[in-house]
Amino acid sequence: MSVKVDIEKRLGDFHLNIHFEAADLVHGLLGASGCGKSMTLRCIAGVVTPDRGHIEVNGRVLFDSEKRINLTPQQRKVGLLFQNYALFPNMTVEGNLLAALRGQERETAKKKVSEMIRRFRLEGLERHRPSQLSGGQQQRAALARILLTEPEILMLDEPLSALDSYLRWQTELELMDLLDRFSGTTLLVTHSREEVRRLCDTVTVLDAGTGQGSMPVQALFDAPETLSACLLSGCKNYSRAEKTGEGRIRVPNWGAELTCGEIPAELQYAAIRAHHIELAKGPGENVIPCRVQRVIEDVFSTILMAETPGGKPLRVELEKADFRQTEAGETLYLRLPAERIMLLK
């Protein structure tokens, strides 16, 4: 199974311009709030009509502006789990699930609903209304209702954001099991890099409405190509960068010149993750003298905020075993290993 999306949509000053392909996997749409993630799902579901473009699921065209194809939401056979789950508040769990099977013979529908209630561990909650359910139970009921419609693709809009931290972890484990069993493509909208890493196989990064194509999740963390992708993957340290020679760059924000790997033609920034920076004993290649601004004790590591000669601080995260007592104002030498420097567009 596969999903192909190439669409544009303007709403006032906002311009969504996204294209990606996803195979029979879990594909993440990662970006900050307001970047167009949820709008993309609504366009695929047929709730919102793009201004132009093409949407295709398993070779079946759902939308094509040039060919004037625009299937109704009911014809598209896609399942969209809204962020608030969208259960009918005045219906019981059983009633919500039966609503997905309107038009089917009642005994057949009740048998399917009973099986789905068992599958999603909702036994004993059949007569409960949504307000009487926990967040995790509401989500399971909403997912059960969607799967009763036998969708070709499953689309989840921030499925864990409304849950507290403990319940979120429990529900995420349940979600992993569901996604393993679902035979079609799943699109998962999130602003959490941790959710992308644990739940997704591939990912598209959105930045201010613009999609940056598809990539394996591991590539997002090992070799992001753009600054926005790098920041969304959790990197805190970046600087403007310019090539000064073969395998050499100047990073003015850090006040240094560094040796690095192969330099892309469209180089604009350099970045390095906090846990990849090393302590050095003194000056040397790729070593920057920095003044300690702050020492922060985390649960399993020590975080240093260090001012560089260029004025922009570096965040350094060290294992507690590698850390020696340091005070604000002290000068440290920080090594940025060449193989750990990410070169970005």
The answer to whether residues 79 and 20 belong to one domain is yes
Pairing of the two strands 202-207 and 26-30: parallel
Q: 223, 246, 267: which is the final residue of a domain?
A: 223
The answer to whether residues 213 and 242 belong to one domain is no
Domain hosting residue 327, numbered range: 237-344
* Amino acid occupying residue 111: K
Give SS3 for 213. Answer: coil
Give SS3 for 192. Answer: coil
The answer to whether residues 202 and 310 belong to one domain is no
Does residue 102 fall inside a structural domain?
A: yes
Q: What is the tally of structural domains in the chain?
A: 2
The answer to whether residues 156 and 178 belong to one domain is yes
The answer to whether residues 124 and 52 belong to one domain is yes
The answer to whether residues 99 and 209 belong to one domain is yes
Please tell me the number of Cα atoms within 13 Å of 342 on its side-chain side. 27
pLDDT tens track of the chain, all 345 residues? 689 999 999 999 999 999 999 987 899 999 998 999 999 999 999 999 999 999 999 999 999 999 999 999 989 999 998 878 889 999 999 999 999 998 889 899 999 999 999 988 899 999 999 999 988 888 889 989 999 998 999 999 988 776 667 677 777 888 888 888 888 899 999 998 999 999 999 999 999 999 988 999 999 999 999 999 999 999 999 999 999 999 999 999 999 999 999 999 999 999 999 999 999 999 999 999 999 999 888 888 889 999 999 999 999 998 876 666 676 678 999 999 999 999 998
Q: Please give the backbone phi and psi of residue 312, each rounded to the nearest 5 degrees, phi first.
A: -90, 130
Q: Please give the backbone phi and psi of residue 233, each rounded to the nearest 5 degrees, phi first.
A: -80, -5
For the entire predicted model, the pTM comes to 0.86
The answer to whether residues 272 and 325 belong to one domain is yes
End-to-end, the C-alpha distance of the chain in Å comes to: 32
